[in-house]
Amino acid sequence: MVINAYGLDFKELNAKIRAVGSDCVVEGCIGQRYIGEGLDGVTLKLYGTPGNTLGGYLNGATIEVFGNAQDEVGDTMNAGRIIVHGNIGDAAGYAMRGGVICVRGNAGYRTGIHMKEYKDKRPVIIIGGYTGSFLGEYQAGGVIIVLGLGGPSPYTGNIVGEFPCTGMHGGKLFLRGRAEGVDFPAQVNVRLAGEEDRAELAGHLEIFAYSFGYPLGWLLDSDYTVVTPNTKRPYKQLYVQN
Amino acid sequence: MPNYILPDFEVERRDDRCIRCRVCERQCANEVHSYDEENDVMLADELKCVGCHRCVALCPTRALKIVKYSGTFRENANWSNQSILEIYKQAESGGVLLSSMGTPNPCPVYFDKILINASQVTNPSIDPLREPMETRVFLGKRPQNIERDETGKLNNNLPPQLELSVPIMFSAMSYGSISYNAHESLARAATELGIYYNTGEGGLHEDFYKYGPNTIVQVASGRFGVHKGYLDVAAAIEIKMGQGAKPGIGGHLPGEKITEDVSRARMIPVGTDAISPAPHHDIYSIEDLRQLVYSLKEATEYKKPVIVKVAAVHNIAAIASGIARSGADIIAIDGFRGGTGAAPTRIRDNVGIPIELALASVDKRLRDEGIRGNVSLVVAGSIRNSADVVKAIALGADACYIGTAALIALGCHLCRTCHLGKCNWGIATQRPDLVKRLNPEIGYKRLVNLVTAWQHEIKELLGGMGINSIEALRGNRLMLRGVGLNEKELEILGIKHAGE
């Protein structure tokens, strides 16, 4: 089933996608918001540029975008896959709890903000390029991987922007390379990836390698920096009973 | 480091009545009472007493009395005992002062300075025992125009509404801040009463999905427990932007309260802190708010109203005007005196404005701009009785949220130590031995009794005014008069002074 999105507003387009209720291709996306919200069990292939909150509350569906996506990709996503062949905007994977967001290009500010995990749900965000500032802010779980394949950000000279991992209290961040010159906050531990980390990383990167045609061995042929929180209770000592 | 802290209370035990049954000792989670076997006396560590009265209520011989600590520092009108003790606490710990429930400070309560009208001679009052009185209200957007099809039949263009048998709902209190049994009591009472309770931002326990038709689910900055099923099961979705007790700051449920069960509802691991940051990370403007409102509407196919809850702050009228244009169906405003399970003392006692002034100015602003019908207004932040409900509605509200009043109905004694997690009444705790003290079978009946009693009182007050429908009272400020208010206060409230 092919839907032509051109000229439809988000309400009409999303109603059509829901009405189809099975795999479909959407052509001519032009900024329509909320595409695929809450969907499970289907595959959407999108051409053009979908708007904000692509795949919000996604519940198991697969969304593949052959172009760029905008802000809040996978907002509060629970399960499923979002694969973007271009760049994405700000706040991708906000409070995401499960599933995978896999981006070939760059990401904006606040990627993976307040990402969580729960039982067998461990969300993963993989950014092939660089990210903006505030990467993994308040990260409470899950895995964020930044590869920086196209080189560092022209704005900061690093593959991440300013202030990564502020308020991080769970989960794990992988940065390709040695993250030299990146300023991390006091409440995280920063180290080079060991054998176990690299085995875990290899598992996460399979979808990236497969989706965008990179050899997995080549992706892994580099140092990786691992960032984890040094406490689950960053605010424990802050209060006194009154 | 030396500890200079004084007790808040003294435990008075009448030895002639005490039978050494040690109920007080077993009932006190704060471990105030103990038994000295050698001398056969009950002892009390008064520093630990929070004044919750659990021991007093359960003492079989009424041997116990908890009284205010009578010791005092040298009298000082400027430096109260409380001010001095707070400094000691901070000097000893370096911590931010943390409190619970609404502010105990003597801030003005405008509801107490507003009086309600009644009919005399020239217009008849109505006897609610004899004549039907309508207390039902609908919350949601009102259609701007009537649409008909080509045959002249009415098109139903009514946006989704909440129907309330009485204009009272239970306000947002999360599972985690309050107990399973407290939530069950609220959910069952809301169902029986034909009103709604609100999950708060802690997700929804799987056992309570069956109360979905009477449940408002909350989406806050932390997005705890938010997923498709949670949104689908609810009658309405509330976006929490702020809370009256702590405007401008976030929430933080400490790891010890994230038990196995709470972790399931919140969908986060056991024992980790649940941090709700102050802002939503994706909302910096009314346009951004609109985006989240429509995100939730899309996710639920436009079948349920979306509420936006904000704290009453200085520019509340302009903020509400923005929200009314954001696509939200209902605005909930939580006033300065509103409750909380934990808030920094300084924020709770110093930030925000009273709900009466906020409500009056919001209602006026929305009317002036011709957008009052875009939204319903729900107010909270210390609605203590049915007269407060009636006054709020006459000031322009569509309905009220009650939180503290509902907890008091469940047995809360307002000791204001919810944040310690050791609630002896089984309300603000996750300790299984304490939670079981609140029997939801009894709890829900007490809530039903409370709201039913208020409904009767509302009908009597309405009847006295010669009004037979609560809808006819909404925004009817002529039914109110102020006493002891200055001109500016009267102007903001939009009411006349008594005698005018």
pLDDT at B272: 83
pLDDT at A234: 62
Q: Which residues of B touch A136 (CB under 8 A)?
A: none
- Which pairing describes strands A43-49 and A24-30: parallel, antiparallel, or unpaired? parallel
Helix, strand, coil distribution of chain A in percent, nearest 5: 15, 30, 55
Cβ pair A18:B226 closer than 8 A: no
Instruction: Give the tokens for residue A160.
Output: 């991440």
Cβ pair B282:A71 closer than 8 A: yes
Cβ pair B228:A38 closer than 8 A: yes
Query: Nearest by CB to B295, which of A53, A91, A238?
Result: A53
Whether A152 and A158 have beta carbons less than 8 Å apart is answered as yes
Q: Which residues of B touch A116 (CB under 8 A)?
A: 267-268
> Which chain B residues touch A if contact means CB-CB below 8 Å?
86, 89-90, 92-99, 221-223, 226-228, 231, 252, 254-255, 263, 267-269, 271-273, 275, 277, 281-282, 291, 294-295, 298-299, 301-302, 344-345, 417, 419-420
Give the distance from residue A198's alpha carbon to the nearest chain B alpha carbon, in angstroms. Answer: 24
Chain B residue with minimal CA distance to A95?
A: B223
What sign does the CA torsion over B270, B179, B441, B233 have?
negative
Alpha helices in B94-154 (DSSP H): none
What sign does the CA torsion over A59, B240, B285, B300 have?
positive
DSSP-derived secondary structure letter, B210: G
Chain B residue with minimal CA distance to A233?
A: B273
Query: Nearest by CB to A94, which of B95, B96, B282?
Result: B282
Tokens 């900061």, located at residue: A156
Residue A49: beta bridge partners? A30
pLDDT at B402: 98
pLDDT at B16: 94
Query: Nearest by CB to B227, which of A57, A113, A242?
Result: A57
- Give the other-Cβ count within 10 Å of B151's Cβ: 5
Instruction: Give the tokens for residue A151.
Output: 């080189």
Q: Which residues of B touch A89 (CB under 8 A)?
A: none
Whether B101 and B340 have beta carbons less than 8 Å apart is answered as yes
Instruction: Give the tokens for residue B403.
Output: 């939180």
Which sequence spans correspond to the domains of chain B?
9-95, 137-497
Whether B407 and B182 have beta carbons less than 8 Å apart is answered as yes
Cα gap B329→B173, rounded to integer Å: 21
Cα gap A98→A116, rounded to integer Å: 8
Cβ pair A57:B228 closer than 8 A: yes
Cα gap A138→A94, rounded to integer Å: 10
pLDDT at A236: 65
**Of B105, B174, B102, B179, nearest to B416 (Cα)?**
B102
Alpha helices in B276-332 (DSSP H): 286-299, 316-324
- Burial of residue A18 (CB within 10 Å: 0-12, 13-18, 19+) is middle
Query: Nearest by CB to A242, which of B89, B254, B302?
Result: B89
Give the distance from residue A239's alpha carbon to the nearest chain B alpha carbon, in angstroms. Answer: 4
* B409 residue type, one letter: A
Cβ pair A34:B222 closer than 8 A: no
Q: Which residues of A touch B98 (CB under 8 A)?
A: 239-242
Whether B272 and B306 have beta carbons less than 8 Å apart is answered as no
Give the distance from residue B222's alpha carbon to the nearest chain A alpha carbon, in angstroms. Answer: 7
Chain A residue with minimal CA distance to B83?
A: A242
pLDDT for residue A71 is more than 70: yes
Cα gap B471→B166, rounded to integer Å: 11
Whether B157 and B147 have beta carbons less than 8 Å apart is answered as yes
Residues 6 or more apart whose Cβ sits within 8 Å of residue A204 = A124, A126, A143, A145, A174
Chain A residue with minimal CA distance to B267?
A: A118
Cβ pair A141:B254 closer than 8 A: no
Cβ pair A232:B226 closer than 8 A: no
Which of B4, B267, B303 should be substituted to probe chain A, the one whose Cβ sees the most A Cβ atoms within 10 Å?
A: B267
The pair phi, psi for residue A143, each rounded to 5°, is: -130, 130
Chain B residue with minimal CA distance to A58?
A: B228
Instruction: Give the tokens for residue A135.
Output: 């990467």
Let me know if domain B9-95 sits in CATH 3.30.1490.20.
no
Query: Nearest by CB to B93, which of A140, A141, A240?
Result: A240
Q: Which residues of A touch B226 (CB under 8 A)?
A: 57, 76, 95
Average confidence (pLDDT) per 10 residues, chain B, 500 residues: 87 95 96 95 95 96 95 92 94 92 94 96 89 96 90 92 98 94 98 97 94 97 94 97 92 81 89 84 93 96 97 97 97 96 94 97 97 97 97 98 98 95 95 96 98 97 95 96 97 97
Q: Using only C-alpha atoms, what is the Rg of chain A?
A: 18
Chain A residue with minimal CA distance to B90?
A: A240
Distance between terminal CA atoms of chain A?
A: 62
- Burial of residue A181 (CB within 10 Å: 0-12, 13-18, 19+) is exposed
Cβ pair B98:A118 closer than 8 A: no
Chain A residue with minimal CA distance to B48?
A: A241
Cα gap B117→B123, rounded to integer Å: 12
pLDDT for residue A193 is more than 70: yes
Residues 6 or more apart whose Cβ sits within 8 Å of residue B372 = B324, B363, B366
Give the distance from residue B99's alpha carbon to the nearest chain A alpha carbon, in angstroms. Answer: 5
Q: Which residues of B touch A237 (CB under 8 A)?
A: 94-95
Q: Which residues of B touch A114 (CB under 8 A)?
A: 221-223, 277, 281
How many residues make up chain B in this entry? 500
- Burial of residue B115 (CB within 10 Å: 0-12, 13-18, 19+) is middle
Chain A residue with minimal CA distance to B419?
A: A241
The pair phi, psi for residue B169, each rounded to 5°, is: -130, 160
**Stretch A32-49: mean pLDDT:** 96
Residue-wise burial string across B92-104, b where 16 or more C-beta atoms lie within 10 A, e elsewhere: eeeeebbbbbbbe
- Which pairing describes strands B137-139 and B399-402: parallel, antiparallel, or unpaired? unpaired
Distance between terminal CA atoms of chain B?
A: 61
Cβ pair B226:A37 closer than 8 A: no
pLDDT at B256: 77
* B33: three-class secondary structure by DSSP: strand
Cα gap B441→B181, rounded to integer Å: 9
Cα gap B41→B58, rounded to integer Å: 18
B278 or A19, which is more confident?
A19
Residue A121: beta bridge partners? A118
**Of B69, B54, B62, nearest to B9 (Cα)?**
B69
Cβ pair B291:A33 closer than 8 A: yes
Instruction: Give the tokens for residue B183.
Output: 């939530």
Which one is the CATH code of A87-238: 2.60.40.10, 3.40.50.1980, 2.160.20.60, 2.40.50.1070?
A: 2.160.20.60
CATH number of B137-497: 3.20.20.70
Q: A237: pLDDT confidence band, cut at 50, 70 and 90? A: low
- Which pairing describes strands B215-219 and B236-240: parallel, antiparallel, or unpaired? parallel
Chain B residue with minimal CA distance to A122?
A: B268
Cα gap B188→B184, rounded to integer Å: 6
Arithmetic mean of pLDDT over chain A: 94
Cα dihedral value A120, A121, A122, A125, nearest 10: 150
pLDDT at B145: 86
Chain B residue with minimal CA distance to A11?
A: B298
pLDDT for residue A235 is more than 70: no
The pair phi, psi for residue B20, each rounded to 5°, is: 60, 35
What sign does the CA torsion over B89, B94, B96, B99 have?
negative
Residue A226: beta bridge partners? A174, A191
pLDDT at A192: 97
Cα gap B35→B38, rounded to integer Å: 9
- Which pairing describes strands B41-44 and B64-68: parallel, antiparallel, or unpaired? unpaired
Q: Which residues of A touch B255 (CB under 8 A)?
A: 232-233, 236
**Of A79, A168, A78, A93, nearest to A126 (Cα)?**
A93
Phi-psi region of B380 (alpha: psi -120 to 50; beta: other; left: phi over 0): beta
Cβ pair B301:A18 closer than 8 A: yes
* B291: three-class secondary structure by DSSP: helix
> pTM to 2 decimals?
0.95
Q: Which residues of B touch A137 (CB under 8 A)?
A: 281
Whether A163 and A152 have beta carbons less than 8 Å apart is answered as no
pLDDT (tens digit per residue) in A117-142: 999 999 999 999 999 999 999 999 99
Q: Which residues of A touch B250 (CB under 8 A)?
A: none
Q: A232: pLDDT confidence band, cut at 50, 70 and 90? A: low
* B6: three-class secondary structure by DSSP: coil
pLDDT at B259: 87
Count of CB pairs separated by less than 8 Å, A with B: 130
Which sequence spans correspond to the domains of chain A?
87-238
Whether B222 and B277 have beta carbons less than 8 Å apart is answered as yes
